[in-house]
Amino acid sequence: MFFIFFVKTGFLYSQNRTIAGKILANFEIPEGMHICNATKDLYSISNADGEFEMEAEINDTLIITGVSIRVFKTVINEKSYLTGKIVANVERKVFNLNEIIVEGNRQDFFIENYYSKSIMKISPAEKKLNNAKKGINGIINTLNGSLKYRVKELEKETRNLLVEDIRGKYEEEYFNDLLEVPCEYINGFLNYCIDDMEVVDSFKRKRLNLFEFLLINKSKEYKKLISH
């Protein structure tokens, strides 16, 4: 009987379940932050209340990143798994004086810096956003929250397009052999990298020597995150 209970309990803990997360940041609205289940290569984005959902099981590693926050990492423990809830208290990222200080809307800055016109003339999400801004619909969509949703949709699309663009120029062997990032972690690694505007800017300007140097440094940081 004990053996049966033990097997059932072990089976339960080995199953994925939806974890409801809450990001707390007392210095800004925690919207649009990026959550990665580094163990399973799954992704999510927080809403205006800092809430998100992520499929996970015990011992999965979650990594939360954003333009203005320090990297937050946590491992799903038994309590988080059983309650299906997790709270992340994130800290403001401290910039050096020689780094660019950006004021204004963080999502607008993200989209402006991430969107690569070389990928396509206009994307489906950008077209929907432009249409949502026009005329009387623009006023209505601003009031009912649809415009904010379109901005988030475009932000997510631009990240995916940029990751695809980078992967299109670098073979898997580059990440595996030189950077020592396993295949299953490449997308998570690149999503971690593109939170750094210097990485994005160097890639967009085709300053590949600088870009590859930055990737080497980022790979060292990322491997530390997923190894603990």
pLDDT in tens, 68-100: 788 888 999 999 999 999 999 998 876 544 443
Question: Is there a contact between 155 and 115 (Cβ–Cβ < 8 Å)?
Answer: no
Residue 45 has pLDDT above 90, yes or no: no
Work out the percent of the chain whose per-residue pLDDT is above 70: 67
Residue-wise pLDDT for 28-41, tens only, equals 778 888 888 888 87
Three-class SS state of 107:
helix
Give the whole-angstrom CA distance, residue 16 versus residue 7. 16
Residue-wise pLDDT for 95-145, tens only, equals 544 443 333 344 444 444 544 444 344 455 555 555 545 556 555 555 455
Q: What's the 3-state SS for 120-171?
A: CCCCHHHHHHHHHHCHHHHHHHHHHCHHHHHHHHHHHHHHHHHHHHHHHHCC
Q: Which of 82, 81, 12, 38 is nearest to 228 (CA)?
A: 38
Describe the crossing of helices 197-204 and 146-169 by its angle, rounded to 10 degrees.
60
Give the whole-angstrom CA distance, residue 136 versus residue 225. 47
Q: Which of 158, 161, 195, 209 is nearest to 72 (CA)?
A: 195
The stretch 4-24 carries a mean pLDDT of: 70
Instruction: Give the predicted TM-score (pTM) of the model.
Output: 0.52
Question: With bands split at pLDDT 50, 70 and 90, how would you rate the model's confidence at 3?
Answer: very low
Show the CA angle centred on residue 152, arms to residues 194 and 58, nearest 5°.
65
Residue 219 has pLDDT above 70, yes or no: yes
Question: With bands split at pLDDT 50, 70 and 90, how would you rate the model's confidence at 153?
Answer: confident
